[in-house]
Amino acid sequence: MADWSSGYVTDVTYIPGYYQELSPAIIRFCLLIQQLTPPPAEEFNYCELGFGQGLSLNLHAAASPGAFAGTDFNSEQAAFAARLAGAAGSDLAVCDDSFEDFSRRDLPQFDYIALHGIWSWINDANRRQIVEFANKRLKRGGAFYVSYNCYPGLAAIEPMRKLFMLHGRRLGEGVSSLERIQGALEFTERIFQAGPHYFHSSGNVGARFEALKNASPRYLAHEYFNANWDIMYFSDVAEMLAGARLNFAASAVPHESVKGLGMSDEAREYLNKVADPFLYQQLYDYFVNRAFRKDIYVRGALPLGEAAYRERMLAQRFILTREPAGIDMTLKVGMGTASFLEEIYRPAVAALAEDGHSPKGLEELRERLGGKLDYSQLLSVCINLMGVGVILPCQTPEAAERCRATARALNAAICRLAGTRDDLRCLASPVTGVGVAVSRMDQLVLDAASSGNEVAPYLLRTLQAGNIAIMKNGRNAENEAEAKHFLEEFLADFHQKRETILKSLGIA
């Protein structure tokens, strides 16, 4: 492997995943929940370090009224990210620098600096580069988002990953990363089949290994096969980031702001007595056996007074991103599962669905629910529904309008690719500033509509040209007539259930 890679896998590109926690809109909302002044919602500067394929970076740049920049030293990944940015016409500067070289560029001061996962896959020297970059480039009051593998949840997995790397060093020299991964999985499986105590007695190692066997090799290459794979405690990361004058401010998972959610009575009682927020975070990880953290730090956080906080929250609108029918009112959180009261949450979801899923603020929701819930109760409902994954906070109408053209252009470019690839399953919503999951089939419908094609014949031609199965309920169409019938039913379902939602999100 080339020395410039610092042990990072470079011969296999990463999967183009989407991570909404990187969104400046989500970061702002999570800080607002904590009654902290968030960075600006418009005319801001945002930077993502180690952006992978750049899908998140592009979606956020196209759907947000700010200036974006980012670097990923895999040139192939950076080239794809730049291609999307060019199609969108967004204010996004894409680089393929190392962190050290990127820091030497003529860059602005940033309101947001973000990185997803990369913290765990790089060496100490590169982590110090990131800390120094944040120290020099993050504005006062700016937000720093970082996610990483953590103890104690991954402690049981660490020896298994050691087996992967041991195979690579002793038996996997001179082969590609993909061949090395396959060899390591087979090597580890043979060991586990021989019945070592570790396999049976350490946490969920067996289930985790079975899941890894079925995972994408591109995912495994970057998640487990870099030379560096460091698990860290929250307290250690927080102390490192203190060197850039950063203090922990919030989880980037909104429902984690609801203390005690999904916890046993004993755990809730104990944690409620922990006044030190630093200590609370570390102890919470032990109680839930957390394996991955998503944290927001701030340089010089300014608390919001009660009046200013209430004013901002009342101005915040929310949008329902799913059909009400079939929404599961449970949430895996904390030490188990939280079940939400149907008599409260179902009417709230129904109210959010009214008027074609139009965005609604807390006051409007309260009126639609007949005043049965007060402001704080409604906010808790919305935060928990975000956890369920069915609503998002919205930008102002003015911000949404500013981003509509770039979001439309990026979405059109992604939808055009849907005929030949199935791994770009998100589109940009200017209404929220966040990427929204949209299936490949729905993307093809949007592509047909935007290009002036008759939708059903276009779908049939595209799917047949790509040798893509036309299915219903897991069964392949047996002939063209049945394929056309399946597509007609699919389109009817799209127009009835999903089109209205996509229009309300500014996507369709």
User: Does residue 13 form part of some domain?
Assistant: no
Q: Which of residues 217 and 424 earns the better pLDDT score?
A: 424
pLDDT at 200 over 60: yes
- Nearest alpha-carbon partner for 225 in 286, 182, 282: 182
- Nearest alpha-carbon partner for 232 in 153, 296, 159, 160: 153
Same structural domain, 362 and 465: no
Residue 221 has a pLDDT of: 87
448 within 8 A of 463, measured Cβ to Cβ: no
pLDDT at 1 over 80: no
User: Does residue 2 form part of some domain?
Assistant: no
Same structural domain, 62 and 129: yes
User: Does residue 449 form part of some domain?
Assistant: yes
Same structural domain, 449 and 365: no
Instruction: Give the separation between CA 19 and CA 426, rounded to whole angstroms.
Output: 10
Instruction: Give the separation between CA 210 and CA 188, rounded to whole angstroms.
Output: 11
pLDDT at 2 over 50: no
Same structural domain, 191 and 331: no
Q: What are phi and psi of 3, to 5 degrees?
A: -60, -35
Instruction: Give the separation between CA 95 and CA 74, rounded to whole angstroms.
Output: 10
Residue 3 has a pLDDT of: 47
Q: What's the mean pLDDT in 101-118?
A: 97
Same structural domain, 476 and 349: no
Domain termination site, one of 358, 393, 428: 393
Same structural domain, 444 and 483: yes
pLDDT at 386 over 60: yes
Same structural domain, 143 and 252: yes
Q: What's the mean pLDDT in 11-20?
A: 86
- Nearest alpha-carbon partner for 161 in 103, 219, 205, 117: 205
pLDDT at 357 over 60: yes
Same structural domain, 171 and 144: no
Q: What's the mean pLDDT in 235-254?
A: 97
Domain termination site, one of 266, 298, 330: 298
Per the listing, tokens 């032990």 go with 286
Q: Is 369 exposed, middle or buried, given 0-12, 13-18 or 19+ CB atoms closer than 10 A? A: middle
Domain termination site, one of 224, 251, 270: 224
Both tokens assigned to 125: 């020297």
Instruction: Give the separation between CA 476 and CA 123, rounded to whole angstroms.
Output: 48
Domain, as residue range, for 181: 158-224
Mean pLDDT computed over every residue of the chain: 94
399-434: pLDDT as tens digits: 999 999 999 999 999 999 999 999 999 999 999 999
Both tokens assigned to 130: 């990131």
Q: What's the mean pLDDT in 5-14?
A: 66
User: Does residue 69 form part of some domain?
Assistant: yes
Collect all residues with Cβ–Cβ distance below 8 Å to 31 and sequence separation of at least 6: 37, 38, 143, 249, 250, 296, 298, 301
Instruction: Give the separation between CA 450 and CA 464, rounded to whole angstroms.
Output: 20
User: Does residue 479 form part of some domain?
Assistant: yes
Per the listing, tokens 């229009």 go with 503
Residue 227 has a pLDDT of: 83
Both tokens assigned to 281: 């975070």
224-240: pLDDT as tens digits: 888 889 999 999 999 99
82-97: pLDDT as tens digits: 999 999 999 999 999 9
Same structural domain, 205 and 220: yes
Same structural domain, 378 and 404: no
Instruction: Give the separation between CA 341 and CA 332, rounded to whole angstroms.
Output: 15
User: Does residue 9 form part of some domain?
Assistant: no
Instruction: Give the separation between CA 147 and CA 104, rounded to whole angstroms.
Output: 24
Q: What's the mean pLDDT in 345-354?
A: 98
Confidence band of 10 (pLDDT split at 50, 70, 90): low
Instruction: Give the separation between CA 143 and CA 61, rounded to whole angstroms.
Output: 17
Residue 207 has a pLDDT of: 87
31-56: pLDDT as tens digits: 999 999 999 999 999 999 999 999 99
Cβ neighbour number for residue 397 with a 10 Å cutoff: 11
pLDDT at 491 over 90: yes
pLDDT at 173 over 80: no
Q: Quick one: what percent of the chain has pLDDT higher than 90?
A: 84
425 within 8 A of 440, measured Cβ to Cβ: yes
User: Does residue 305 form part of some domain?
Assistant: no
51-79: pLDDT as tens digits: 999 999 999 999 999 999 999 999 999 99
55 within 8 A of 421, measured Cβ to Cβ: no
- Count of domains observed in the chain: 4
Q: Is 322 exposed, middle or buried, given 0-12, 13-18 or 19+ CB atoms closer than 10 A? A: buried
Instruction: Give the separation between CA 444 and CA 439, rounded to whole angstroms.
Output: 9
Same structural domain, 140 and 255: yes
Q: What's the mean pLDDT in 460-478?
A: 90
Highest mean pLDDT among 3-7, 139-143, 167-171, 451-455: 139-143
Q: Any alpha helices (H) in 215-341, and if so which ranges?
A: 217-224, 234-241, 265-271, 277-288, 306-315
Residue 9 has a pLDDT of: 67
Domain CATH for 238: 3.40.50.150
Same structural domain, 74 and 112: yes
Residue 172 has a pLDDT of: 66
109 within 8 A of 138, measured Cβ to Cβ: yes
Residue 5 has a pLDDT of: 54
C-alpha distances in angstroms, 418 versus 13, 355, 408, 454? 19, 31, 15, 17
Confidence band of 218 (pLDDT split at 50, 70, 90): confident
User: Does residue 430 form part of some domain?
Assistant: yes
Q: What are the helix and strand counts (H, E) for the chain?
A: 22, 16
Residue 508's Cβ-side half-sphere holds a number of Cα atoms within 13 Å equal to 18
Confidence band of 242 (pLDDT split at 50, 70, 90): very high
Instruction: Give the separation between CA 258 and CA 460, rounded to whole angstroms.
Output: 47
